[in-house]
Amino acid sequence: MPFECHFAAYVPDCGKLERTLHFVFGEKRARRNREFFTIDPDLAKAIIELVADRKVDVSDVEQSIDTAERREIEQMRRRREVRTFTSLNVPLGATLTFAKDADITCTVSRSRKVLFRGEELSPSAAALRVVHELGYDWSAVSGMDYWEFNNVKLSQLGAAPVAELPDEGD
């Protein structure tokens, strides 16, 4: 399965940061013998930003992502984004709460839109505004990871529980 680097930065002690990330996210490994985790990448990004000296922009060439892999990554991203409130059984008019602050809410207005502070936006655009207000200068977030319905993140609605993948050779 192709993957891409969500965020990269220079840090003063990469070993210490790696140990911290493994401690915090260890139970979310995709495989015991791999460095892949089934987490919202913005969680790892927030930790890395705390200790980063500076951000690094990494190109597809530097990540060894060819045209076919980029296309597959974008298709996977679009499939994730196609989820609608209807497909998640979230009714129109439902109140969603921001995962990091339950006092921040929006209302489902259409199958892919929410009403946030009087403006109709995508869930991602609304979440990005809140993230910016919290002091992060991120260029994008997945709204499905930041909004909750009945205390469950939208990204978890309708999803099968993530079982640990078998180690290679098992």
Per-residue pLDDT tens over the stretch 18-76: 888 888 887 777 777 777 777 778 888 889 988 999 988 877 777 777 888 888 877 77
Q: What is the pLDDT of residue 24?
A: 85
Q: Establish if 121 belongs to a structural domain.
A: yes
- Count the domains in the chain: 2
Q: Are residues 12 and 57 in the same domain?
A: yes
Q: Establish if 54 belongs to a structural domain.
A: yes
Residue 144 has pLDDT above 70, yes or no: yes
Region 6-22 average pLDDT: 89
Q: Are residues 74 and 22 in the same domain?
A: yes
CA-based nearest residue to 83, from 6, 161, 163, 158: 158
Q: What is the pLDDT of residue 169?
A: 43
- Kindly report whether the global pTM for this prediction surpasses the value 0.85: no
CA–CA–CA angle 60, 63, 66 (5° rounding): 55
- Report residue 80 as tokens: 């994730």
Q: How confident is the model at residue 81 (pLDDT cuts 50, 70, 90)?
A: low
Q: Establish if 165 belongs to a structural domain.
A: no
CA distance 162 to 45: 21
Q: Establish if 74 belongs to a structural domain.
A: yes
CB 46 within 8 A of CB 131: no
Range of the domain at 63: 8-81
Q: Are residues 76 and 100 in the same domain?
A: no
Rounded to the nearest angstrom, the gap between the alpha carbon of residue 146 and the centroid of all alpha carbons in its chain is 8
Percent of the chain topping pLDDT 70: 85
Q: How confident is the model at residue 168 (pLDDT cuts 50, 70, 90)?
A: very low
